[in-house]
């Protein structure tokens, strides 16, 4: 299904906030990172969106350019393959000569109990999320940010914070990214680079939600979240916008929990899920 831009986007920041800047967004052709790209572009930024499926990227780039009036270039890339990352970053620099903002949003996930997860399943998610984030950050650093500074935003999650059920693979990968964020923030601060994580909670209308049990979300569960609702893609786009803006100059090496407080109140009750059969239903999603 084609990605759609936000109807009646409400500007909070100055629409020229990111004028003259360029963002490189992995996973920017779909879901949360499509909307992150849209919101950055609505604030004057040009963008390069990268992932494996070129047709999807082309369609999304066309929509983003049409709606925002900015330039968006689709480039095919697999975050697991350093050669492909190098080619994509070179292509971006050939077109725009700069990359001020890197958003590492590419990820893979599914529900699976650790006991039945194959070695390759665990490795695959670690490679896309954790290795992928390192690969892209390193190439963008080497080829541009080392000499010009910038902001790197890693999209993580809250899975590892309390040990979310059926998420040992993705939680481990996101935890690794959070640690990496602190290491890179320390080492690359001297180059004028800030490195941050934005950790969404459950976000409606996304692939992640549909893969991770979104269909089982009840009104009662939503009402148990402190802000009384799950998040939207727009919420995450606005959070990333704040993080990359000069308003966030003190933020580096840390994680913003963008989840309305749901990690505090979510039941995450493995034993109850086993007892009621909920675990069986989730494992089949």
C-beta of 140 vs 157, nearer to ligand COA: 157
* Number of residues written out for the chain: 285
Which residues from 65-94 bind ligand NAP, rule CB under 6 A? 77-80
C-beta of 54 vs 121, nearer to ligand COA: 121
66 Cβ contact partners less than 8 Å away, ≥ 6 residues apart: none
Question: What does the block give as tokens for 87?
Answer: 């080619």
Q: Are 68 and 272 in contact (CB under 8 A)?
A: no
- Kindly tell me which residue out of 109, 133, 238, 239 binds ligand COA, with binding defined by CB under 6 A: 109
C-beta of 89 vs 203, nearer to ligand NAP: 203
Q: Is residue 204 a contact residue for ligand COA (CB under 6 A)?
A: no
Q: Is residue 200 a contact residue for ligand NAP (CB under 6 A)?
A: yes
- Kindly tell me which residue out of 149, 204, 208, 278 binds ligand COA, with binding defined by CB under 6 A: 208
212 Cβ contact partners less than 8 Å away, ≥ 6 residues apart: 109, 111, 167, 202, 285
- Select the binding partner of residue 218 from ligand NAP, ligand COA, none (C-beta < 5 to 8 A, by kind): none
C-beta of 17 vs 112, nearer to ligand COA: 112
Q: How far apart are CA 64 and CA 86, in angstroms?
A: 24
Q: How far apart are CA 120 and CA 196, in angstroms?
A: 29
- Select the binding partner of residue 239 from ligand NAP, ligand COA, none (C-beta < 5 to 8 A, by kind): none
- Select the binding partner of residue 124 from ligand NAP, ligand COA, none (C-beta < 5 to 8 A, by kind): ligand COA
Question: What does the block give as tokens for 13?
Answer: 């920041």
Q: Is residue 39 a contact residue for ligand NAP (CB under 6 A)?
A: no
CB of 184 to ligand COA, least distance (A): 22
160 Cβ contact partners less than 8 Å away, ≥ 6 residues apart: 171, 172, 174, 175, 178
239 Cβ contact partners less than 8 Å away, ≥ 6 residues apart: 198, 256, 258
Question: For 58, how many CA atoms within 13 A lie in the half-sphere containing its CB?
Answer: 3
CA-based end-to-end distance of the chain: 20
Q: Is residue 214 a contact residue for ligand COA (CB under 6 A)?
A: no
- Kindly tell me which residue out of 53, 123, 183, 275 binds ligand NAP, with binding defined by CB under 6 A: 53
Q: Which residue is nearest to ligand COA (CB)?
A: 108
| Contact positions vs ligand COA (CB under 6 A) | 107-110, 112, 118, 120-121, 124-125, 207-208, 211
């Amino acid at each position: 299904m084609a990605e759609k831009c936000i109807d009646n986007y409400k500007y909070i920041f100055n629409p020229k906030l990111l004028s003259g800047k360029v963002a490189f967004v992995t996973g920017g052709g779909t879901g949360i990172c499509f909307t992150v790209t849209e919101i950055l572009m609505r604030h004057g930024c040009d963008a390069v969106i990268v992932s494996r499926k070129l047709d999807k990227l082309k369609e999304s780039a066309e929509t983003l350019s049409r709606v925002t009036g900015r330039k968006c270039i689709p480039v095919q890339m697999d975050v697991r393959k350093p050669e492909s990352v190098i080619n994509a970053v070179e292509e971006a620099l050939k077109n725009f000569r700069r990359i001020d903002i890197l958003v590492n949003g590419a990820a893979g996930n599914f529900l699976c109990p650790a006991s039945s997860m194959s070695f390759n399943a665990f490795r695959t998610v670690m490679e896309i999320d954790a290795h992928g984030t390192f690969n892209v950050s390193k190439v963008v650093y080497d080829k541009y940010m080392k000499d010009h500074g910038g902001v790197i935003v890693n999209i993580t999650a809250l899975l590892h914070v309390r040990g979310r059920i059926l998420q040992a693979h993705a939680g481990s990968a996101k935890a690794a990214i959070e640690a990496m964020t602190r290491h890179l923030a320390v080492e690359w601060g001297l180059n004028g680079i800030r490195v941050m994580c934005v950790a969404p909670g459950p976000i409606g209308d996304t692939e992640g939600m549909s893969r991770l049990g979104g269909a089982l979300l009840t009104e009662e569960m939503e009402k148990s979240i402190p802000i009384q609702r799950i998040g939207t893609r727009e919420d995450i786009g606005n959070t990333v916008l704040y993080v990359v803006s000069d308003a966030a100059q003190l933020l580096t090496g840390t994680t913003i929990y963008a989840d309305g407080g749901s990690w505090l109140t979510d039941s995450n009750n493995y034993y109850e899920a086993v007892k009621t059969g909920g675990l069986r239903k989730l494992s089949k999603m």
